[in-house]
A and B are shown apart, each in its own frame.
Chain A
């Protein structure tokens, strides 16, 4: 494990990683969810996090925009330390977009209003400016014609694409995806993965918790395998899927492949 971190550091001499998580530990009451978890992500990288359920992978990425507090270790995002300082947290949340398993669109706002709310309130855009950006993004994820509808009228796949557009409207530096296709019907998984694929091609830094092996193989620069709150393996997809080093990775792969 120390080897992989050193190689990553050697490769990025000129530019520090945009996301550094060092020895992060977290407890839910007495139960320890994260045990000295380490991760570094460079600008433009796509990192897929895999692991059995309960391994702490969702909790881990939720610490990166302070939706979950952590008790030990340190996290730095684009040079800003993620501490309890509320100003730092606000800045980091602006820079980090998040897509949830349950979409979490705002049901009382139209699709367009879902996308424009944060740009208007947080980035202080005028309504015409925000509308313009929102329309471009909705066009990019292929649902511009639904802009005036309420989220409840859309299919799961469409809702998740709106959620991606909503996060992108803040022009984040990093996008976090927390099992974005897990609550979708099978026929809708592809349309969401296609959007994520093109987002990765455009150079977005992405951290994706997913069980989609095909997506990981094709799009990811690295696969991070977590178990029992620890990062156990951090390697290329080719190596992870063909020659996993750790016994727990092998067991996991034998169950999902």
Chain B
């Protein structure tokens, strides 16, 4: 018995890795490649300098936001939590229409300043907080826009259907980076008032993701049997009541995984904002790396921000898994 256990791994290796000349060559090659990767990784780790992270931790988290005004970031983060918990407790749909616009307004005020608050230019915003802020605001704006586009594409009115279809197909046919450039260059031409660079970037992300969300939601709407709306209409519910109580609750539940997937990709796409002189996680990483004392620390910095992106995306996908389990 004892000898058998000891012999087994050796046998297994002989049988699977060294059984033919071809496999012997392959095995040796693989071991050599693996050894090279691992050893160079270790030699990199032994020379790596993590002070670039610890010394710039505040920049990574909040950018160059004035220290005395940091409470505003806390307040901004608190607003969605407050709204979400109120909605869970009150469970009333009408509150959605009051609380969410009020909350967005308060966030805009805290973010920008004015009316008694110190004005803060978006160039002072940065780090993980800006990444989360941009992702959260675009998500909050893209969802209703995507919903309207999905409904518009199924509308019986040809004009609304046409506009929605053209919008969706146009945006889906363009690369995100192109839409972000267009938002920077074109929006100031068509909007009568001055839009901040950050706001333009957030709107670009919103326009892009709304088109994809619309298609996700539409697939949910289409998968519902027509009997559902027929039963609802035959009970005397009008088309808006049918949508609100019968169609949307079922359709949105069906496409929750796809919607969360879209939000995950939106979160990662915020890294493109670095190209527009915005100092979100990727942007701040690049600006830290351009300082002379941290030259050549690319590995440490990008590994660190990669880990942060991964933690948030992994968390979101776990959250979506739990939603799926709960709804089934």
**A residues apposed to B, CB below 8 Å:** 65, 67, 90, 93-94, 96-98, 100, 102, 104-108, 117-118, 121-122, 163, 166-167, 170
Contact = CB atoms under 8 A, between A and B. Distances in A.
Contacts of A100: 227, 230-231
Contact of A166 (B225, B228, B235, B241): B235
A93 B236 contact: yes
Nearest to B249: A108
Contacts of B241: 121-122
A93 B241 CA distance: 14
Closest 5 CB pairs of A and B: A104-B231, A118-B235, A104-B227, A98-B234, A94-B236
Given A90-B238, A100-B227, A106 B233 contact: no
Given A104-B227, A121-B241, A97 B234 contact: yes
Contacts of B230: 67, 100, 104
Contact of A170 (B225, B235, B249): B235
A121 B246 CA distance: 12
What interface size band does chain B fall in? 10 to 19
A121 B234 contact: no
Given A121-B241, A121-B245, A106 B228 contact: yes
B234 A96 contact: yes
Contacts of A121: 237, 241, 245
Interface centre among B234, B238, B241, B245 (most CB of A within 10 A): B234
A106 B231 contact: yes
18 contacts: A65-B234, A67-B233, A67-B234, A90-B236, A93-B233, A98-B234, A100-B230, A102-B225, A104-B231, A105-B231, A106-B232, A106-B250, A117-B237, A117-B245, A118-B236, A121-B237, A122-B237, A170-B235
A214 B227 CA distance: 28
B253 interface: yes
Contacts of B235: 93, 97, 117-118, 122, 166-167, 170
A102 B224 CA distance: 14
A87 B182 CA distance: 46
A134 B228 CA distance: 20
A93 B246 contact: no
B223 to A, nearest CB: 13
Interface in B232-291: 232-238, 241, 245-246, 249-250, 253
A100 to B, nearest CB: 6
A107 B250 contact: yes
A108 B252 CA distance: 12
Interface centre among B225, B237, B241 (most CB of A within 10 A): B237
A167 B246 CA distance: 16
A102 B231 CA distance: 10
B164 to A, nearest CB: 23
A121 B245 CA distance: 10
B246 to A, nearest CB: 6
Contacts of B250: 106-108
B91 to A, nearest CB: 13
Given A117-B245, A121-B245, A104 B237 contact: no
A122 B250 CA distance: 20
A113 B4 CA distance: 65
A78 B156 CA distance: 30
A249 to B, nearest CB: 30
Given A107-B250, A108-B249, A108-B250, A170 B236 contact: yes
A91 to B, nearest CB: 9
